[in-house]
Amino acid sequence: MTGTEAGAFDAIIIGAGVIGSSIAFSLARSGLKTLNVDALPAAGYGSTSHSSAIIRPFYSHVEAASLAHEARHRWLGWSAFLGAPSDEPLATYTECGLLSLLTEEGDDAAAACAAMTKAGVPWTRLSPHDLETRFPGMSLKSFAPVKQRDDESFGIDNGGRVIGAVHVPDAGFVNDPALAAQNLKAAAERGGATFRFNAKVVGIRQDKNRVLGITLADGTKINAPVLINAAGPHSSVINQLAGQTGLLPIATKAMRHEVVYLPWPRALESTSARTIITDLDTGVYTRPDGADMLVGTLDPPCDTPDVVDPDDYNNGFTDHWTTQAWRAGQRFPELEIPEQARGTIGLYDVSDDWIPIYDRSELGGYYLAIGTSGNQFKNAPMVGDLMTRIILECEEGHDHDTDPLTLTLPKLQRTISLAHYSRLRDVQKTANVLA
């Protein structure tokens, strides 16, 4: 396909990760003819494939907690949600619960507990005795503040203790995030959506402050009245092509992260111990992954954000891998750290406050599903509906800026304001963002 395809599509979605594929699925169900274009060779091939794929409602804003809890119901009924044929390989959601450790330094979970309560999410408080019984081999010493591994006080406790934890049973993880994106792609295609891979967008054509279409690197020009930026770590690049750089109060950037795979500690072999753990005291989160423990960073203040060019960055392990492994070892002293690094290295599309932008833009017909920061994987089944509501209403003339739209969450039987995801919002304070 070269040359010009005029008026062939109702909407073009830049990106075919889990977010872009979800938007295609929802728009197709609404009757729109869509095209996803992606520079990579397959759906979910980029940052989606590096996601820790944690599904949890543990957020410090009620809108975020509610959206994630609603999305969980779709992960639980993944096949039915997709309308998948019986022989289609599907990503699997495992519900194992989440534990957020608390220390004497302060109740870091207070805002999240309040948000979850308002959202109707069940949670309980565990005592130190509960932790010692359920997690043999877990140290309850406090090591805060989080330190770099070359700090002379690294690994030396501060004399404080873990005073308990918040346990959220309705949380888990998806085993194969790339496959989840491919499942959404297949569902979108059953609804008439089209996908084109190995296709790099190099231009966004517009006239009189309205989108006309895109230009690909091979010269192909494709027209559509609606364009959605779901380009993940390349979202800022696409915004620049659209002339939106500097017009968005909240910016996005590509941030590099390393995720560690370690052998699961023998002391935690029991089924009840195989849960997701967030540990602000040591600066990491962990989750089970088959025979392994997956260790990711909570981006503590002592770590310099690794902001990179999404087209030119180090895709090899660095000393940060070892630092994360050692941080996890403070909590689990029997943790075995092999000499050979195993894990994954990916990019996150990070907004200034780690909350995504799901919104229109200053350019007519140009919509944003950006700043998803890795952690929005959990919300992917709902993001398609969210973006479809914004797109269809705004294209009919609704002023979402002055009269923010809401989204109905059928399982929770409540609505949330989409102003939370506005490009015009004040920068929010967030906590416990797990990618």
Angle, vertex CA 298, rays to CA 295 and CA 303, nearest 5: 105
Burial class (CB in 10 A: 0-12, 13-18, 19+), 164: buried
Q: CB–CB of 229/11 below 8 Å?
A: no
pTM above 0.85, yes or no: yes
Q: What is the DSSP secondary structure assignment for residue 17, as one 8-state letter?
A: S
Cα end-to-end span (Å), the chain = 37
Q: What is the DSSP letter of 183?
A: H
Q: Are 42 and 182 in contact (CB under 8 A)?
A: yes
Which of 346, 374, 392 marks a domain boundary? 346
Structural domain contains residue 378 = yes
Peptide bond into 225 cis (omega under 30): no
Q: Specify if 360 maps to a domain.
A: yes
> Over pLDDT 90: what percentage of the chain?
90
234 alpha carbon, distance to own chain's centre? 15
Does residue 52 sit in helix, strand or coil?
A: coil
Q: Residue 2's pLDDT band (boundaries 50, 70, 90)?
A: very low
315 lies in some domain: yes
Pairwise pLDDT comparison (168 vs 435), residue with the higher score: 168
Average pLDDT over residues 314-334: 96
- Residue 49 forms part of a structural domain: yes
| Number of C-beta neighbours around residue 333 at 10 A | 13
Q: Which domain holds residue 43?
A: 4-88+176-251+353-421
- Distance between CA atoms of 109 and 240, rounded to whole angstroms? 37
Same domain, 154 and 206: no
Distance CA 360, CA 358 (A): 7
Same domain, yes or no: 161 and 279: yes
Mark out the alpha helices in 77-152 (DSSP H runs). Answer: 78-82, 110-119, 128-134
CATH number at residue 42: 3.50.50.60
Orientation of helix 62-76 relative to helix 380-395, angle to 10°: 110
Token pair recorded at residue 216: 């690909």
The Cα–Cα gap between 278 and 165 comes to 10
- Same domain membership, residue 71 and residue 37: yes
Q: Is the pLDDT of residue 433 over 80?
A: no
Look at residues 311, 316, 266, 313 and name the one whose alpha carbon lies nearest to residue 293.
Answer: 266
In this structure, are 330 and 360 located in the same domain?
no
Are residues 258 and 164 part of one domain? yes
In a domain, 433, yes or no: no
Summarised one tens digit per residue, pLDDT across range 245-284 is 888 999 999 999 999 999 999 888 887 889 999 999 999 9
The pLDDT value given to residue 178: 98
Which of 304, 325, 346 lies at the terminal end of a domain, its last residue? 346
What is the DSSP track for 328-341? HHHH-TT----SS-
User: How many domains is the chain built from?
Assistant: 2
User: For 393-418, what is each residue's pLDDT tens digit?
Assistant: 999 999 999 999 999 999 999 999 99
Q: What is the CATH number of the domain that holds 290?
A: 3.30.9.10
100-123 tens-digit pLDDT? 999 876 566 899 999 999 999 999
Q: What is the amino acid identity at position 394?
A: C
Q: Both 241 and 259 in a single domain?
A: no
Same domain, 247 and 258: no
150 and 276 inside one domain: yes
Are 327 and 193 part of one and the same domain? no
Structural domain includes residue 427: no
Residue 428's pLDDT is 83
Question: pLDDT value at position 1?
Answer: 36
One domain for residues 77 and 100: no
| Beta strands at 276-279 and 98-103: parallel, antiparallel or unpaired | parallel
Q: What is the mean pLDDT of residues 161-174?
A: 97
Helix, strand, coil percent content, the chain, rounded in steps of 5: 30, 25, 45
Asked whether residue 214 is assigned to any structural domain, the reply reads yes
**102 domain-assigned:** yes
Q: Are residues 244 and 301 in the same domain?
A: no
Q: Which two tokens stand for residue 140?
A: 């309850």
User: Is pLDDT above 90 for 6?
Assistant: no
**Residue 183, by phi and psi: left (phi above 0), alpha (psi -120 to 50) or beta?**
alpha
Tokens of 54: 């944690």
Same domain, 25 and 69: yes
User: pLDDT > 70: what percent of the chain?
Assistant: 96
Q: Tell which of 346, 378, 398 closes a domain.
A: 346
Mean pLDDT of the chain, nearest integer = 94
For residue 429, pLDDT beyond 80: no
